[in-house]
A = this chain, B = another copy of it.
Amino acid sequence: MRRTITGFSNPTVKAIRALRDKKHRRRAGQFLAEGLRLLTDARENGHLPRQLVMATGRDPHPLLDELEAAVSAAGGEVIETSRDILSKITGKDNPQAVAGVFDEFDTSLSSLDRSRSGIWLVAQALRDPGNIGTMLRTGDAVGAGGLILIDDCADPFGVETVRASMGAIFTQQMAQARWGDFLVWLRRAEGQLVAASLRDAVPYRGAPYAAPCFVLVGNESQGLPEEYETACDLRVTMPMRGRADSLNAAMAAAVLSYEVLAALDA
């Protein structure tokens, strides 16, 4: 059953809008995703929104009808509201016609299924939400199992991250951990930890990659701490023909992931 909301000061609107803020996301354990495409990706991967918010005057779409039916059947709430209110909720001048409120996933290391793929992406202290979203998307492209966020990374449930992931937040598994805990978890089973590095490293092409391979990139400006690199099984370096730090962290992860994919497939 649909509920219609017309007031900006409606408490439900306020609560959903507050999910743009990290503190409120933590408290609610929920996050916001926008757009029919993303919400359809979510549904296909077993994630239904608790609340589905649709704009009045939207174009009808069979996928949206299916989504609405699925949300209702699962006991979720379907809300119809104005474009203006949806714009206020999402913070965009031209909001998508639909948004959803999802429960945050379990991001403990123990929630990961290591047998899922031979490639995993690992990011340390990555601060840019767009970079995290892009890494999720790259992970999806190479068929990685998921993304592990080490130390203080940007919030993977932030609006910008979710947007930049283009739906991959729903296809990739995700964990958050401190470095020490990650290492203990990693060494409990087979797994090769590979650092994108400038120190004591072999060329990234033709390096002896082995599955399951965990591809680790460091912070956008500092790179990886030296002791983290030392703990890796393999350090690889990519040619830099321009200024030393000219490759974006998410780019380096993409180039390296495709190299690992090719090596494991060979």
Contact A243–B171 (Cβ < 8 Å): yes
Q: For the complex, give the distance between the alpha carbons of A194 and B219 in Å.
A: 32
Name A's interface SS.
Answer: helix
A215 CB, nearest partner CB in chain B, Å: 13
Interface range for A: 20 to 34
A207 contacts chain B at the CB level, 8 A cutoff: no
Chain B residues with Cβ under 8 A from A247's Cβ? Answer: 137-138, 141, 254
Query: From residue 132 to 174 of chain A, which have CB atoms closer than 8 A to chain B?
Result: 134, 137-143, 166-168, 171
A240 contacts chain B at the CB level, 8 A cutoff: yes
A178 CB, nearest partner CB in chain B, Å: 28
Closest to A164 in B: B248
A261 contacts chain B at the CB level, 8 A cutoff: yes
Q: Which residues of A contact B (CB under 8 A)?
A: 41, 130, 134, 137-143, 166-168, 171, 205, 238-243, 245-248, 250-251, 254-255, 258, 261-262, 265
Chain B residues with Cβ under 8 A from A248's Cβ? Answer: 134, 137-138, 166
Contact B242–A140 (Cβ < 8 Å): yes
Given contacts A168-B246, A246-B137, contact A142 B241 (CB under 8 A): yes
Q: For the complex, give the distance between the alpha carbons of A261 and B238 in Å.
A: 11
Kindly name the residue among A166, A171, A258 whose own CB sees the greatest number of chain B CB atoms within 10 A.
A258
Contact A134–B251 (Cβ < 8 Å): yes
Q: For the complex, give the distance between the alpha carbons of A205 and B265 in Å.
A: 12
Closest to A266 in B: B205
Contact with A166, one of B130, B168, B246 (Cβ below 8 angstroms): B246
Q: For the complex, give the distance between the alpha carbons of A143 and B241 in Å.
A: 5
A118 CB, nearest partner CB in chain B, Å: 11
A169 CB, nearest partner CB in chain B, Å: 12
Nearest 6 Cβ contacts at the A-B interface? A143-B241, A140-B242, A141-B246, A141-B247, A140-B246, A251-B254
